[in-house]
Amino acid sequence: MKKKTAIIFGVTGQDGYYLVKLLLKKNYIVHGIKRRSSSVPTYRITNFLKQKNFTIHYGDLTDTSSIHSLINMIKPDEIYNLAAQSHVGVSFFTPLFTANVNAIGVLAILEAIRLSPKKIKFYQASTSEMFGKTKSKFQSEKTIFNPQSPYGTAKVFAHLITQNYRDAYKIFASNGILFNHESPFRGDNFVTKKIISSLTKIRYGKQRQLVLGNLYSKRDWGHASDYVEAIHKILQQKKPSDYVIATGKEYTIKKFVEKTAKKLKLKLYWSGNGMKEHASDENGRIIIKVSKIYFRPLEVDYLKGDASKARKVLKWRPKINLDRLIDEMIEYEKSLLFNSKK
């Protein structure tokens, strides 16, 4: 049986790592695309570079010619677009760059697929941030989008243009609306990574304080390895469609902090309200506080996904709960702290 060939845009990120691992296990030939100027370290995929079925190429979603050249040269069966300016807060400071990568870059891939003589399946990584301020208790594929950031807005364009090309040109193009998903390989600028890294360092005397923004934002957190399995399943279906991928359980940032602290045997004593809310340790030293600089211009207070369609059609269910996820992330941070290596 002929091996499938896949392209992964955004291969150096958290999801790229887990997807490469999964596809190689399934005997794919995998081509990873990274920007030459990318600030994202490649340590996550270093071990894959020795494998004969994995190749890294340089490419950029803001360079249409490079996208067309790569797709024409590789002639993939499947394309997974995980590439993005992926930090919501940063998108307020770099809105044009965010739009070029997260929106126009997706259109460039779709155009290359449309013009290719080969039938190529396409996966677009959508996001729960597209829902923004919502009154729905659960967000599903039918929930109206109301993004509250340049990041979320650009992702809505990418989501809709993927649907448009699917309908207009009969391309196998599917969106996965992934809610927050974490792992030991989460980027340093994400709040879960920041919480676990900082509290681990505080526990072992390597850091004095953790500063956060909105403690009461609620998020639906899953494990990246589970979500990548769903991503692959989406492109194995007979017909293209869109799917919410989520656990259906939500927790506040504060609850995530408390769970992490408890596992690290750090006792927290909360006091104050609003911007003056803080947590002290058993010696009375303030180790967690709130700052305005970590609040977004527009906050998204509540996100919780309804993955009923994915459960029914994809036969997908998350395997790793939040407690196990936090355990994994803590152990990884400890290994970094005591081995000083990634």
The answer to whether 127 is a known catalytic residue is yes
The answer to whether 43 is a known catalytic residue is no
Minimal CA–CA distance to 326: which of 281, 269, 259, 267?
259
According to DSSP, the β-strands at 78-81 and 29-34 are unpaired
Per the DSSP assignment, residues forming a β-bridge with 81 are 9, 124
Phi, psi of 72, deg, nearest 5: -70, -35
- One of 127, 134, 153, 247 is an active-site residue; which one? 127
**What would the DSSP string read from start to end of 227-257?**
HHHHHHHHHTSSS--EEEE--S--EEHHHHH
Please tell me the distance from the alpha carbon of residue 141 to that of residue 162, in angstroms, as a whole number: 14
Minimal CA–CA distance to 54: which of 12, 86, 94?
12
Angle ∠(54,60,63) on CA atoms, nearest 5: 135
State how far Cα 245 lies from the chain centre: 11
- One of 18, 151, 227, 243 is an active-site residue; which one? 151
Where do the H-state alpha helices sit in 100-217?
Answer: 105-115, 150-169, 191-203
**What would the DSSP string read from start to end of 46-81?**
GGGGGSTTEEEEE--TT-HHHHHHHHHHH--SEEEE
- Which single residue is written with the structure tokens 């919480």? 195
Judge contact between 98 and 150, C-beta under 8 A.
yes
- One of 78, 129, 229, 333 is an active-site residue; which one? 129
Please tell me the distance from the alpha carbon of residue 301 to that of residue 250, in angstroms, as a whole number: 11
Sign of CA dihedral 24, 26, 29, 33: negative
* Length, in residues, of the chain: 342
The answer to whether 151 is a known catalytic residue is yes
Which positions are annotated as active-site residues? 127, 129, 151
